[in-house]
Amino acid sequence: MADDIVWHDHKVVRSQRAENKNQKPCLLWFTGLSGSGKSTIANALDVALHNRGYHTFLLDGDNVRHGLCRDLGFSDEDRVENIRRIGEVSKLFADAGLIVLSAFISPFNSDRRLVRKLFPAGEFIEVYMDTPLATCEERDPKGLYQKARAGEISDFTGIDSPYEAPAHPEISLDTSSSSVDDCVDSLINYLLERKLIVG
Ligand code: ADP
């Protein structure tokens, strides 16, 4: 920590940035196994919100690993740092007044708790993709389960690296039994009920 670095207060504050956009910022944090549907549902919700005129931003696991987090691997230590960085970036986007959708496996409770703590109460919405491992493995959209089972990749969540299910997520979705549209409807209804969006 750099003790000599002074925090600058900005003249335009968070609430004013959101007011100009006519919306309330929040972070929808999608967590779950690979193939559980995080990217698919986050993208579909992004489209639904965008079409309603909301200002959103989608942060996605694979994409940040090409840039912001390209120096990180999949060891426990690197996963912690990966989520810490994404949490901070999500906070900056929310400070800019955006509705942020972040889709990351984020297997550890402690990391998700750290991100939650960066946000005012009610603005961190944990979306647990509670799709059974068997379904995720059967889908295997990127062929990674097959490689993990064959021992070609290690530290793969759900196979040889743990996934800690959230104890109290704001929303749980199981894409083995709910369609993409149903999942998006559930999320939109949640945002409407909490008055985070108005229509
Ligand atoms: P993750 O981001 O969690 O790794 P993806 O969204 O990349 O998961 O992959 C989920 C896969 O499951 C996609 O190929 C998607 O088309 C498929 N799928 C089938 N049914 C659903 C559903 N109801 N919801 C989301 N994804 C589904």
Per-residue model confidence as pLDDT tens digits over 48-107: 999 999 999 999 988 899 999 999 998 889 989 999 999 999 999 999 999 999 999 999
168 vs 10, higher pLDDT: 168
Contact 38 CB / ligand 1 (< 6 Å): yes
Distance from Cα 179 to the centre of ligand 1, integer Å: 10
Beta-strand pair 26-32/124-129: parallel
Most ligand 1 atoms within 8 A of CB, residue of 139, 145, 182, 187 to mutate: 139
* Whole-prediction pTM: 0.95
Question: Which of 6-15, 30-39, 106-115, 152-161 is least confident?
Answer: 6-15
Report how far residue 145's alpha carbon sits from residue 29's, in angstroms, rounded to the nearest whole number: 23
The tokens for 133 are 């491992």
pLDDT for position 1: 62
φ, ψ of residue 64 to 5 degrees: the values are -70, -25
75 vs 132, higher pLDDT: 132
pLDDT for position 104: 95
**Atom of ligand 1 at shortest distance to CA of 41?**
25
* 14-193: CATH, from 1.10.1510.10, 2.102.10.10, 3.40.50.300, 3.30.540.10: 3.40.50.300
Contact 23 CB / ligand 1 (< 6 Å): no
Among candidate residues 137, 133, 135, 161, the one with its CA nearest the CA of residue 147: 137
Distance from Cα 35 to the centre of ligand 1, integer Å: 5
Q: Which of 34, 102, 106, 178 is catalytic?
A: 106
Domain regions of the chain by residue span: 14-193
Distance from Cα 40 to the centre of ligand 1, integer Å: 5
Most ligand 1 atoms within 8 A of CB, residue of 34, 36, 40 to mutate: 40
Contact 107 CB / ligand 1 (< 6 Å): no
For the question of residue 106 being annotated catalytic, the response is yes
Contact 169 CB / ligand 1 (< 6 Å): no
The tokens for 117 are 């703590």
Cβ neighbours of 160 (radius 10 Å)? 12
Q: Are 89 and 68 in contact (CB under 8 A)?
A: yes
pLDDT for position 116: 98
Report how far residue 16's alpha carbon sits from residue 58's, in angstroms, rounded to the nearest whole number: 22
Matching residue, tokens 């989608």: 58
Report how far residue 162's alpha carbon sits from residue 6's, in angstroms, rounded to the nearest whole number: 39
Q: Summarize the confidence of residues 150-177 as an average pLDDT.
A: 96
